[in-house]
Structure 1
Amino acid sequence: MIRPSIPDRSDDPRVDVSLVVNGEKVMRPVSIRMLLSDFLRHELGLTGTHVGCEHGVCGCCTVHIDGKAGRSCLTLAVQANGAEIRTIESVAHQDGALHPIQQAFKECHALQCGFCTPGMVMNILARFEEEEKLDLSDSGIRDMLSGNLCRCTGYINIIAAVRRAAELLGRA
C-alpha cells in the first residue's frame, strides 16, 4: 500500500516539543496535529517504527513511551512532550549484536515480510521488562501478542520465538 505524503500543515499552530528519543534529547517545533509515528519517521528518520492501520489495531507502530508499550499512531507528538521514547532502532546492542528477542525471531524464523516485527519486538520487550512472571503457555503468549497483527504467518514460529527469547533472557 502506498502511503500518501503528509499534507502540508504549514498553517497549523506549532508547538515546541522536547523528548528523549533512544537516549538522545530532541527538541523540535511540530504541528499540533502531527502523530508521534510521523514525528519519529519523518522528522527524526527513525523508519523502523512502521505504520500499518493508523487506527491502533495492528501494533506495527508500537514504541515505548516512558517505559510502557504504546501506539505511536494514536499519540500526538505534543502529547509525548517531556516523555522518553524508545524505538526499535535502540534495541540491538551498540556493536550490532542482536537483542535476545531479535535473535530469537531470527533463530525461530518468526518473520516473513518483517513489517510487523518491530512492533512485536517492542511489545514483547515491554512485557519482559514490566512483568516479573510471564505466562509462556501458548494461550499466554497469544494473549501477549493479541495487540499485534501479522498478516503473513500463522504465529506458530512467533510463539516459539517468544519462548526462545525467554530462554535467552533466563526467563524460561
Structure 2
Amino acid sequence: MGLAVETRASLALEREHRYVGQLSVSQCARLVAELVAGADTALQVELQADRRSGWPRLHGRIVGALMLECRRCGRPFEQALELAVDLRLVFGEAEERAALAKAEPLLIEDDRLPLWQVVEDEVLLALPMLPRCQSCENVVNEAAATAARPQEQQAPAPRDNPFAALKRHLQSKE
C-alpha cells in the first residue's frame, strides 16, 4: 500500500491519523539525484499525528536500504536506513522560531501536511555527506587511527648531547 502524498494537518491531528505504507524512491526527485542511477527501492514508512505530548507532532519511523555510490572507489553499495522521525507541527513563523530551541519544527502552511516531502527531507538529512563503501571506510578509519597514534609509540630520533656538540664546536675554533 502506498503512502498518501499529503493530508490536512488539522484533520490528521484531530483524528490522530496513522500513516503506514511504502514510498518508492523514484517518486522523490531530490533523493533520486543522490542515488545510483536506476536503483529503485521502496521505503517503509510509519507516521503518527497526535497531540499526546502536549503539542502537535508527527512522529514515527522510516526503514529501507538505498544504493549509493562510494565517493572513494566509485562502486555502488547498499546503505541501510532506519530513521526515527519526531517533528513538532507549528502553524506560524513565530511559533517555528520559538520551537527551534526545543524540537525540530515543521511549518504547516495552508493546513497541508506533505507526507512525501517530510519523508524525502528526513532521508536526505540522514545520508552521509561523503558516502563510502565498507571497505573504503575501513581504509580511511585505519589511516586516521595511524595518524592519531601518540608520538612516543614511534621510535625517537637519536639526539646529540648538547654539551658534546658545544665541546666539538669550541674545539673546532681552536
Name the TM-score, length of structure 1 as normaliser.
0.24
Structure showing the higher strand proportion among its residues: 2
- Structure 1 or 2, whichever has the larger Rg, is 2
Name the TM-score, length of structure 2 as normaliser.
0.24
